[in-house]
């Protein structure tokens, strides 16, 4: 039995050892806890999303940043996408248990958060951050009413993933460079039991690119600040007509999107020559069917004219600073470092994503990631209305998806269906 006097002695010895350890290292690591830091140090809390960074990236960034910025310690937490909207809203109110100073959010989410008035306006920092070189598909959705609230973190965009063996068997020696060539090649592939392309009828991300290529828009903002649907413009209708032509050259469903069924599973197990997706989907197909190893290739979505790739829907993330942050200035310095050239290239290398600036696309070493990055230079995102999520969330169906199915199944003529879809978008963006 340990006597009370001995227990007291043990506690004293333990405390002496703790003090010595902190004096030597400046930290005391506890599982699941922030290391102890000198009382005058500032702890900047960062929320990044699952799948956006590797553990090595987090460790390397934290160690280098803390070394270069004495007096600042980083607490970097990884959050799940599921339920993140509620968590961010709580953080913007300043009520989060682990109140963040810097938050990663989806690029199409920024406008909604900014409309709350609880996100720091960074318009005066755009020049310092190199904003003139930001990808359009990240810069635009980070802006609301002409003010910049989100700073681009990384991007991903779609390319064409194709079966090299099927192209060779059809006598096709090089990827198409224009839309017209793409249609001709796909028609050539779409025979003798082979499907030229798998394009689900409700893939509105792909449709968006075709609409933008024609000079159309999904929605437009009037001089009075109100948004309205624009699928019924002549330009947008031409984009849908091209989608209809391409979709007909394969076996994609007309009444479902790319996830029902998963297009990568279809591509892996059926005689399909092409799909449109992010490069990582090639790996998913190979995992499902290892025989596809070394049989897949990539090319940019062709544009209307040779020499310019097609416009693509840019996905990705932005960084925002809550006004409720206790260390907003320090958070800005962390943001500046994360979105600067050195760490952008590290992130691109680690995650095979496109860096945030047009000038960095050609610097990417991996050829497939470089192709995606170069495609993202000509990318865009959803309209920067704070109410756009209401369009995507309409039930029973996003009106753009409903429009696509109506046209592809012949239920309604394209112009009539486009007019109805535009009206639905207008109503959703006005809150009615």
What is the tens place of the pLDDT at every residue in 400-428?
999 999 999 999 999 999 999 999 999 99
Return the ∠ at Cα 306 (arms to 300 and 308), rounded to 5°. Answer: 55
pLDDT tops 50 at residue 25:
no
pLDDT class for 12, splitting at 50, 70, 90?
A: very low
Q: Provide the pLDDT for residue 32.
A: 37
Question: Which of these ranges, 56-65, 114-123, 268-277, 423-432, has the smallest mean pLDDT?
Answer: 423-432
Query: What is this structure's pTM?
Result: 0.87
| CA–CA distance, 332 with 322 (Å, rounded to integer) | 11
pLDDT class for 40, splitting at 50, 70, 90?
A: confident
pLDDT tops 90 at residue 19:
no
329 compared with 13, residue with greater pLDDT? 329
Q: Provide the pLDDT for residue 39.
A: 63
Q: For the residues 298-305, what does the mean pLDDT come to?
A: 97
pLDDT tops 80 at residue 7:
no
pLDDT tens digits, residue range 46-71?
Answer: 999 999 999 999 999 999 999 999 99
Mean pLDDT across the chain, nearest whole number? 91
Q: Are strands 296-299 and 159-163 parallel, antiparallel or unpaired?
A: antiparallel
- DSSP symbols for 327-350: THHHHHHHHHHHTSHHHHHHHHHH
146 compared with 16, residue with greater pLDDT? 146
Q: Residue 304 has what DSSP assignment?
A: S
Dihedral (CA of 116, 120, 121, 127) sign: negative
Torsion from C-alpha of 370, 252, 283, 286, nearest 10 degrees? -140
**Domains in the chain: ranges and CATH:** 40-156+315-380 (3.40.190.10), 159-313+383-429 (3.40.190.10)
């Amino acid at each position: 039995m340990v006597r009370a006097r001995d227990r007291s002695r043990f506690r004293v010895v333990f405390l002496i050892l703790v003090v010595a350890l902190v004096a030597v290292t400046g930290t005391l690591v506890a599982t699941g806890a922030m290391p102890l830091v000198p009382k005058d140090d500032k702890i900047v809390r960062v929320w990044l999303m699952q799948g956006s960074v590797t553990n090595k990236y987090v460790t390397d960034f934290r160690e280098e940043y803390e070394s270069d910025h004495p007096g600042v310690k980083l607490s970097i937490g990884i959050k799940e996408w599921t339920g993140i909207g509620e968590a961010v809203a709580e953080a913007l109110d300043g009520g989060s248990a682990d109140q963040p100073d810097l938050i990663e959010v989806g690029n199409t989410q920024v406008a909604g958060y900014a409309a709350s008035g609880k996100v720091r306006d960074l318009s005066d920092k755009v020049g310092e951050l190199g904003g003139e070189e930001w990808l359009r598909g990240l810069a635009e959705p980070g802006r609301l009413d002409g003010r910049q609230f989100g700073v681009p973190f990384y991007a991903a965009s779609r390319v064409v993933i194709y079966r090299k063996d099927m192209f060779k068997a059809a006598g096709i020696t090089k990827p198409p460079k224009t839309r017209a060539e793409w249609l001709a090649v796909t028609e050539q592939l779409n025979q003798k039991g082979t499907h030229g392309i798998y394009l689900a009828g409700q893939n509105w991300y792909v449709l968006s690119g075709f609409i933008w290529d024609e000079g159309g828009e999904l929605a437009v903002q009037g001089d009075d600040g109100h948004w309205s649907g624009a699928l019924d413009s002549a330009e947008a209708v031409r984009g849908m007509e091209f989608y209809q032509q391409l979709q007909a050259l394969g076996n994609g469903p007309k009444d479902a999107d790319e996830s029902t069924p998963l297009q990568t599973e279809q591509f892996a197990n059926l005689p399909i020559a092409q799909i449109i997706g992010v490069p990582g989907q090639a790996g998913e197909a190979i995992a499902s069917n290892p025989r596809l190893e070394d049989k897949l290739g990539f090319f940019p979505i062709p544009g209307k004219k040779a020499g310019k790739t097609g416009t693509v829907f840019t996905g990705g993330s932005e960084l925002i600073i809550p006004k409720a942050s206790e260390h907003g200035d320090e958070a800005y310095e962390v943001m500046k470092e994360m979105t600067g050239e050195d760490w952008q290239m590290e992130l691109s290398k680690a995650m095979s994503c496109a860096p945030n600036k047009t000038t960095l696309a050609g610097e990417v070493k991996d050829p497939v990631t470089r192709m995606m990055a170069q495609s993202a230079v000509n990318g865009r995102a959803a309209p920067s209305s704070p109410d756009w999520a209401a369009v995507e969330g309409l039930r029973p169906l996003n009106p753009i998806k409903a429009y696509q199915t109506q046209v592809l199944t012949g239920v309604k003529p394209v112009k009539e269906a486009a007019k109805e879809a535009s009206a639905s978008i207008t109503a959703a963006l006005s809150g009615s």
